[in-house]
């Protein structure tokens, strides 16, 4: 078969393919971009340009591209048994072994795993379990769900409703009723310094909303330990522990959405363990397979599981819940992270170095603030003279220029976000920040 030319591919793309989170008019005017192959931390585009991937795909390719151990594990499982469901009192081996692996490292009370195919579905699954839990406990009036402004929890009807980014609501007529927003600890946005006092003020404002609504009507709060897609919002000291405590005091289930923060990006397997958050449920996806195959999971506490089991038949699950090949990819992925010592490398070496380079960027005239944690970071951009540019989308413009300079970062409103693969080396971090600096120089030129 003759391969189509780039122009033919672009025509087919325009004719038949709807992309996620895309303005299709703009994309087709400029020509859809193509990624042909990947190599470690690099991608090769349609012009055979090598691009350093400063976003690990979409915050997920933790072990980098072409990891043969995952490819071989997937191949072996495909040959042995590509698929069989976990319905009908049956299972296959990989999802059980992966569930055991997760339970051994997850926060202490989370010993049960419900699989899904994505972060959105893991949040959706958590929401259904939470509704069932309160109903079976005779408290069905506990139905409202809290999440924060600037949160990103996915795109199903309920996950969009959890999301705190209004541009995700239109034209879908969302959020659904009962999904309430509480403040984010976004100091830069509030014109404040990210101090403990600022964090305490955000908590006080959150408590006011809970009291106004009545905690007897509130089922759960969904929390990303670091808000990723909303702009890499790193909470001030003391805030997360206080938020967790507030939920405990008011009998509100605390759900950690670790779709970005789990599997090494913060120099630990789970932020909930590192920061002692003791969640009632925890959602994971992305780094669980390093994006090699789609897999999400909701980890559930024993207390909740026991209540759910009193309900008898558990009428929830997808055709691909516990997919053996996706779980085999997950198992191989966590073993690669272990065998390469990536958690330690991020915690003690490349994570601190990345933060050092990020902080050096703060002296650039286009940068108003930098913030981050190990291998995730963001720079808020400003106009010459340091004025804030609401609505100018400086982040999107900067990301374009940085791509021309050889690296991929994410533009969000007026900021750029970075989250490279965990296998990145110090020289590659230098290369990444050099490209960022050149792009920002051009932005201010």
Ligand X SMILES: Cc1ncc(COP(=O)(O)O)c(C=O)c1O
Binding residues (CB under 6 A) for ligand X: these are 118-120, 123, 152-154, 224, 228-229, 257, 259-260, 285
Collapse the DSSP code of 220 into the 3-class scheme (helix H, G, I; strand E, B; otherwise coil) and give the result: strand
| Identity of the residue, 98 or 366, whose beta carbon is nearer to ligand X in the bound complex | 98
Which tokens belong to 5? 């030319």
| Identity of the residue, 182 or 259, whose beta carbon is nearer to ligand X in the bound complex | 259
Q: CB of 419: closest distance to ligand X in angstroms?
A: 10
Which tokens belong to 80? 């042995």
| Identity of the residue, 148 or 403, whose beta carbon is nearer to ligand X in the bound complex | 148
| Identity of the residue, 42 or 152, whose beta carbon is nearer to ligand X in the bound complex | 152
| Identity of the residue, 120 or 125, whose beta carbon is nearer to ligand X in the bound complex | 120
Q: CB of 91: closest distance to ligand X in angstroms?
A: 23
d(CA 335, CA 443): 42
With a CB cutoff of 8 Å and minimum separation 6, the contacts of 273 are 105, 106, 107
CB atoms within 10 A of CB 204: 12
d(CA 431, CA 145): 43
Gyration radius of the chain's alpha carbons: 22
Q: CB of 119: closest distance to ligand X in angstroms?
A: 2
Minimal CB distance to ligand X: which residue? 119
| Identity of the residue, 10 or 153, whose beta carbon is nearer to ligand X in the bound complex | 153
What is the rounded end-to-end Cα distance, in angstroms, of the chain?
48
Q: CB of 28: closest distance to ligand X in angstroms?
A: 23
Structure-token match 């893991």, residue found = 122
Q: CB of 90: closest distance to ligand X in angstroms?
A: 26
d(CA 40, CA 30): 28
> Pairing mode, if any, of strands 296-301 and 367-373?
unpaired
Q: CB of 123: closest distance to ligand X in angstroms?
A: 6
Collapse the DSSP code of 8 into the 3-class scheme (helix H, G, I; strand E, B; otherwise coil) and give the result: helix
d(CA 237, CA 195): 7
Q: CB of 286: closest distance to ligand X in angstroms?
A: 6
What strands, in cross-sheet order, belong to the sheet with 410-412? Answer: 367-373, 376-381, 415-418, 410-412
| Identity of the residue, 86 or 117, whose beta carbon is nearer to ligand X in the bound complex | 117
| Identity of the residue, 259 or 361, whose beta carbon is nearer to ligand X in the bound complex | 259
Which tokens belong to 323? 């997919």
Collapse the DSSP code of 51 into the 3-class scheme (helix H, G, I; strand E, B; otherwise coil) and give the result: strand
Q: CB of 203: closest distance to ligand X in angstroms?
A: 21
Cα–chain center distance at 263: 11
């Amino acid at each position: 078969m003759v391969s189509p030319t780039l122009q033919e591919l672009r025509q087919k793309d325009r004719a038949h393919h709807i992309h996620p989170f895309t303005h299709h008019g703009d994309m087709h005017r400029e020509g859809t971009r193509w990624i042909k192959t990947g190599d470690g931390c690099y991608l090769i585009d349609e012009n055979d340009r090598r691009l350093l991937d400063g976003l690990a795909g979409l915050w997920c390719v933790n072990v980098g591209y072409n990891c043969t151990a995952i490819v071989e594990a997937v191949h072996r499982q495909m040959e042995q048994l590509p698929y069989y469901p976990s319905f009908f009192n049956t299972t296959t081996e990989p999802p059980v072994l992966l569930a055991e692996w997760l339970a051994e490292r997850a926060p202490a009370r989370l010993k049960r795993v419900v699989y899904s195919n994505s972060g959105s579905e893991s949040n959706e699954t958590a929401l259904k379990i939470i509704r069932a839990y309160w109903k079976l406990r005779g408290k069905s009036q506990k139905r409202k769900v809290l999440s924060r402004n600037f949160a990103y929890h996915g795109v199903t009807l309920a996950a969009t409703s959890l999301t705190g980014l209004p541009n995700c609501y239109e034209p879908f007529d969302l959020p659904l009723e009962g999904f309430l927003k509480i403040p984010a600890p976004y100091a830069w946005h509030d014109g404040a310094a990210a101090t403990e006092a600022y964090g305490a003020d955000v908590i006080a404002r959150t408590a006011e909303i809970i009291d106004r609504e009545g905690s007897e009507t509130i089922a759960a709060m969904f929390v990303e330990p670091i808000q990723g897609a909303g702009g890499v919002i790193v909470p001030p000291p003391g805030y997360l522990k206080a938020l967790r405590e507030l939920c405990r005091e008011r009998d509100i289930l605390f759900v950690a959405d670790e779709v970005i923060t789990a599997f090494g990006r913060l120099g630990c397997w789970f932020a909930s363990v590192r920061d002692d958050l003791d969640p009632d449920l925890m959602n994971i996806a992305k780094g669980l397979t390093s994006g090699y195959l789609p897999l999400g999971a909701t980890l559930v506490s024993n207390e909740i599981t026991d209540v759910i089991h009193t309900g008898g038949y558990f009428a929830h699950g997808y055709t691909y819940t516990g997919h053996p090949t996706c779980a085999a990819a997950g198992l191989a992925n966590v073993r690669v992270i272990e065998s390469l010592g990536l958690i330690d490398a991020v915690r003690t070496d490349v994570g601190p170095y990345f933060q050092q380079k990020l902080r050096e960027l703060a002296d650039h005239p286009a940068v108003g603030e930098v913030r981050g944690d190990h291998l995730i970071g963001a720079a808020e951009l400003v106009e010459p003279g340091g004025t804030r540019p609401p609505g100018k989308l400086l982040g999107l413009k900067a990301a374009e220029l940085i791509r021309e300079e050889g690296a991929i970062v994410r533009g969000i409103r007026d900021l750029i976000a970075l989250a490279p693969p965990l296998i990145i080396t110090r020289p590659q971090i230098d290369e990444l920040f050099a490209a960022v600096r050149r792009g920002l120089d051009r932005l201010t030129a």
